[in-house]
Homo-oligomer: A and B are copies of this chain.
Amino acid sequence: MTQRAVRGPLGVAVIGTGRMGADHVRRIDRVVSGARVTAVADVDAERVKAVADRVDGCTPYTDPAAALAAPDVDAVVVASPGPAHEAVLSAALARGLPVLCEKPLTPDAASALRVMEAEQRTGRRLVQVGFMRRYDREYLDLKALLDGGSLGRPLMLHHRHRNADSPPWFTNEMLVNDSVVHEMDITRWLLGQEITAVTVLRPRPSGNAPGGLDDPQFVVFETDGGALADVEIYVNCRFGYQVQAEAVCENGTARVGDASGMRVDTAGRWGGGIAAGFMERFEAAYDRQVQAWVDATRRGEVTGPSCWDGYAAAAVCEAGVRAQAEGRRVEVELAPRPALYR
């Protein structure tokens, strides 16, 4: 069951005009083909007006609901803070509008379940969750390799996730909910398996870690297919942004995220540069994600990560935060998977 196709450019409302929202406005206006930003909404009236002024034919709103009701809005990008997502998603679903929702779908499993139920009541998929790593060239190559089966069944995944610095307000819970959540989703997607248990180990913190943050940490996932995935998460490594994954299969291994590109030999060293941050590393993935969403939406389809993926991530995050706090292995409780998401 698909929604109707859209002729002409897709009219998009962007909800939230902070860093991510403003970047999506720029992307849809300047990079992506076949869409235009017809509405932006933000509680900050000044900010939203400034963003709208930079785009031809774009109207600013302070009320998201008003933006969704505008006649030139065919689809919605949600980039407001996580706690505001449920209300916007409900409104969009009520109107039958396709949505690209920045992660997290919602901040907890219970609210994610409610959104999933609301979508099911519409009788069709309308929501795509913004797990943009699934659109990264190297992860796509890895997924294709694993699915092709030439290396045999995947047995383990080794993930590395490093940031140069964490923002001052970063907490142990955010390490799981905001950072490791990417590896949760990628693990589920690469393997096509659900995560069933989480363990979080905390070595002695780095001297770079701000007071109160245990950085780095080491997370182990178990899956219902009997695979293991481990994650090194280190968000104050100073030297740059690095996201790597290695899949260990029965007959070989495959690794993505090793730095590449131009090699410079100088001053006694060979090598190259490490990305400064996630926008530099994943810019093309963000572009590809939004282009794919626009293309599918114009065809009347939804192809990306679903509400079920958003819900599963929320449920694993809840288990992860508990595992982290209690220093023990915690099992993940998942509701049965509805037919719409099979």
Binding site for B on A (CB under 8 A): 7-8, 29-34, 56, 137-138, 141-142, 145, 150-153, 155-156, 158, 201, 203-204, 206-208, 216, 218, 220, 222, 225-228, 230, 232, 234, 237-240, 242, 248, 250-256, 258-274, 276, 284, 291, 295
Contacts and interface: CB of A to CB of B under 8 A. Distances in A.
A270 B262 contact: no
Query: Which of A230, A255, A266 gathers most chain B CB within 10 Å?
Result: A266
A156 B34 CA distance: 44
A242 to B, nearest CB: 7
Contacts of A151: 264, 266
B206 A155 contact: yes
Contacts of A153: 206-207
B291 A31 contact: yes
B201 A220 contact: yes
Contacts of A248: 216, 232, 234, 237
A95 to B, nearest CB: 26
Nearest to A328: B329
Nearest to A264: B254
A216 B271 CA distance: 23
Given A204-B225, A252-B267, A269-B273, 19 more contacts: A150-B266, A153-B207, A203-B227, A203-B228, A206-B250, A208-B250, A208-B251, A220-B220, A239-B265, A242-B265, A251-B266, A253-B264, A256-B261, A256-B262, A258-B270, A269-B271, A270-B272, A270-B274, A271-B272
